[in-house]
Amino acid sequence: MFVTLEGVDGAGKSTQAQLLAAALGPETLLLREPGGTPAGERLRGLLKDADVDLTPRAELMLFCAARAELVERVIRPALAAGRDVVCDRFVDSTVAYQGGARGIDRDLVRSLNAAAVGDCMPDRTIVLRLDGALAAGRAAGRCGSPISDRFESEGPAFQDRIAAEFERIAAAEPGRVVVVDASGIVEEVHARVLAALGPRRTEDR
């Protein structure tokens, strides 16, 4: 099973991805985007550098390049070997950030995503929904990573556009995307994430 977690900065994706991977068993592969390969980690370093001025299209293409590398070198082989894969962000982040928030044509974003991943799409995508002010408070209170700082510095209106785009994605693809309330304590959110997977073999592990 291939599961991705999405949401605005501060929604708790990384924490929930770690908990979900642990719940699915020791053979589960936990990944983050961008990253997961030598090339992807170098691109992550470039994308998270707030001192590098990138145009929206350049940003889009760098994310897709890192994703293409991750899919071919890591995700496809893991799925072919029968392993579960949990990824902190994937194609929907690009639609939400570079499409919905940056204003790049969605058809272009979708076409580049398709070129990067082919038919390697998540079986289930969980969007963590959290009030913007609460998400911003969480993000400000943690030891933030520079990649979050790059986008958080855009301000609350930018984050609101991202949140709205995730809602649009969920409404358009209800068979794949489930929205989960990310408020409350970590354990409560984790229980909701597990429930969002539907019937699963976690009880047997």
What average pLDDT does range 161-184 have in this prediction? 96
Distance (Å, whole) CA 159 – CA 101: 8
Note the CATH number of domain 2-199: 3.40.50.300
Segments making up each domain of the chain, as ranges: 2-199
Question: What is the CB neighbour count within 10 angstroms for residue 102?
Answer: 19
DSSP 100: I
Please say whether the beta carbons of 189 and 128 come within 8 A: yes
The pTM score is: 0.90
pLDDT at res. 140? 61
Distance (Å, whole) CA 45 – CA 23: 30
Question: What is the CB neighbour count within 10 angstroms for residue 148?
Answer: 15
Residue 149 confidence (pLDDT) above 80: no
The tokens of 9 are what?
Answer: 């900065």
Residue 166 confidence (pLDDT) above 70: yes
Residue 177: pLDDT band with limits 50, 70, 90: very high
